[in-house]
Amino acid sequence: MVRIIVLGAAAAVLLPAGNAAAQSVAGGAPAQAQPAPQGQPLGGPVIPGVCLLSREAIFANAAVGKAASARLNELTQAAQREVDAQRTPLETETRALEGQPDNAQTRQRRDQLAQRWQTLRALAAHNSQEIEATRVKAMGRIAGEAQPLIAQVYGQKKCGLLLDRSTVLGGNFANDLTADTVKALDARIQAITFERERLPQQAAAPAAPRKP
């Protein structure tokens, strides 16, 4: 899940540049569409009717998945900028209050500032939820496009059982349907268009009053 985080009153609002969910609509690191890695020398005979599939690899390697991931990254960066625009003046005010005398006026300003930081944290969390909802909806659309193609390849390979490739520890991966499904999906669709999902905004809880 993409997270837009406020670390504290004087800290930055961060979205890690390498966040996998921002890079891949599948919400994970890009998976390879090829069969088992070379580090698994188990091999063995092909088991008729038993086939494998990696949905994560389909999302990561198909053209529509890559395009959706790029679009999701754009929306994530825009959501981050919304938070950053409010963070900068708050950081400036926080630094200005450092070293100020501890009197009633300063405490009131600090309480007000704490409330604004809390509101910003709520905005960051809300933006993260909207981006995650966007990712889930985009992934669902791609899954809907891929499902009939999976069924088609499944029939062509005369499969009688389909297993998630990520749960298989080793063996003969000749009946891996992933690469053929990616090829069929690329022929069917190259991209989808979508905007950021909008969720109801919940009011932030008031900050606890500072003790005198």
pLDDT by residue (tens digit) across 174-197?
999 999 999 999 999 999 999 999
**CA-based nearest residue to 150, from 54, 6, 15:** 54
Quick check: pTM over 0.75?
Answer: yes
pLDDT, one tens digit per residue, over 61-83 is 999 999 999 999 999 999 999 99
Phi, psi of 2 (to 5 degrees): -70, 130
Percentage of the chain exceeding pLDDT 70:
77
pLDDT in the model for residue 201: 83
Q: How many CB atoms lie within 10 A of CB 134?
A: 24
Average per-residue pLDDT for the chain: 84
Kindly tell me if the per-residue pLDDT of 56 is higher than 90.
yes
Strand (E) or helix (H) holding 76: helix 63-97
Q: Name the least confident of 10-14, 43-47, 53-57.
A: 10-14
